[in-house]
Amino acid sequence: QVQLVESGGGLVQAGGSLRLSCAASRSIAEIYYMGWYRQAPGKQRELVATITSTSTTNYADSAKGRFTISRDGAKNTMYLQMNSLKPEDTAVYYCNAFLVGRHYWGQGTQVTVSS
């Protein structure tokens, strides 16, 4: 069992940066898989980036080279550093963890990128 709380979303101009945080209610060292997803209005939720307990990362093509996923075990927090933001990045961003055979989700944080 784990509770996840996202923060750090907001309004930013194209080309700007944001850092999203996902605070977990337990040691993230015990969670093999964590990731960030996003959902834009009228679209399906899509994977943005993932990270494992061994720090193996994976990125969607749209995020690669601009976004960096990381985790801080001391703070029980996962991050998504987003640089060179584009209007197409506008979405609600969700934290995800896979633990004991099921997915857990945060409440989401809104990211809006103006053109």
Token pair for 85: 């933001």
Mind listing the pLDDT tens digit of every residue in the chain (115 residues)? Answer: 899 999 999 999 999 999 999 999 999 988 989 999 999 999 999 999 999 999 999 999 999 999 999 999 999 999 999 999 999 999 999 999 999 899 999 999 999 999 9
Token pair for 113: 């990128």
Task: Specify the pLDDT at position 79.
Answer: 98
Closest by alpha carbon to 31, among 97, 90, 103? 97
Which pairs from 65-69 meet CB under 8 Å and 24+ separation? 69/35, 69/36
